[in-house]
C-alpha cells in the first residue's frame, strides 16, 4: 500500500470514529441529576419556590428587572394586598408571565404567594390557603 493510500485510510478511519468519540465524551456522567424532574416543581416552601422559580425574572431582592424584557417589581407592591390577585397571576399567568401555577400544587402556590406577600417590604399577614388557590383555579380570570 502506498504512503498516500495509508494516509487516506487512516484519515477515513479517524473521521468515522470521531462522531462516536465525541458523543461518548459529551454524555453527562450518570451521577449528574437531571435539570428537571418533569413538569412540576419539587420545592415545598415559599422561599425555595421563589428562589427556584421566580427570582430569575423578579430578582433575588424582588425589585424586578429590565433588559431583554421587563419584569415587574414585587417589592412594596400594593397589588399583593388582596391575596387572590397574586394567586390568579401565578396560576393563570399575566402578560409575559407564564402560568407557572400549573406546575405547582395548591400548597406550593399558597406558599410562594405568602412568601412574596410577607417579604421585600410587603406586609400582608392574611395568609392565602391551599383551599383559596383551589377555588381560584376553577374561575375564569381572563373574561
Architecture of the domain made up of 46-137: Orthogonal Bundle (1.10)
Confidence of residue 89 (pLDDT cuts 50, 70, 90): very high
In the chain, where are the structural domains located? 46-137
In the structure, what pLDDT confidence band is assigned to residue 1 with cuts at 50, 70 and 90?
A: low
Residues 6+ apart with CB under 8 A from 96: 69, 70, 71
Q: Give the predicted TM-score (pTM) of the model.
A: 0.70
pLDDT classification of 86: cutoffs 50, 70, 90 = very high
- In this predicted structure, the answer to whether residue 20 has a pLDDT above a threshold of 60 is no
Residue with the three cell numbers 407557572: 100
Lowest mean pLDDT among 9-13, 22-26, 57-61, 109-113: 22-26
pLDDT in tens, 32-50: 444 445 677 888 899 999 9
Residue 113 pLDDT: 96
What is the grid cell recorded at 93? 399567568
Residue 25 pLDDT greater than 70, yes or no? no
CA distances (Å), 103 to each of 42, 48, 91, 93, 137, in order? 9, 15, 9, 12, 12
Residue 33 is predicted with a pLDDT of 42
Q: Which of 7-16, 65-74, 134-143 has the lowest mean pLDDT?
A: 7-16
Amino acid at each position: 500500500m502506498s504512503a498516500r493510500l495509508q494516509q487516506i485510510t487512516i484519515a477515513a478511519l479517524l473521521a468515522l470514529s470521531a462522531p462516536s468519540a465525541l458523543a461518548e465524551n459529551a454524555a453527562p456522567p450518570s451521577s449528574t441529576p437531571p435539570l428537571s424532574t418533569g413538569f412540576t416543581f419539587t420545592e415545598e416552601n415559599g422561599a425555595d419556590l421563589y428562589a427556584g422559580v421566580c427570582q430569575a425574572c423578579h430578582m433575588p431582592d424582588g425589585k424586578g428587572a429590565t433588559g431583554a424584557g421587563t419584569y415587574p417589581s414585587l417589592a412594596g407592591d400594593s397589588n399583593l394586598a388582596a391575596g387572590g390577585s397574586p394567586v390568579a397571576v401565578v396560576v393563570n399567568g399575566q402578560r409575559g408571565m407564564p402560568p407557572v401555577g400549573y406546575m405547582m400544587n395548591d400548597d406550593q402556590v399558597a406558599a410562594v404567594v405568602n412568601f412574596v406577600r410577607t417579604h421585600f417590604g410587603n406586609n400582608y399577614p392574611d395568609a392565602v390557603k391551599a383551599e383559596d388557590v383551589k377555588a381560584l383555579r376553577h374561575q375564569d380570570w381572563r373574561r
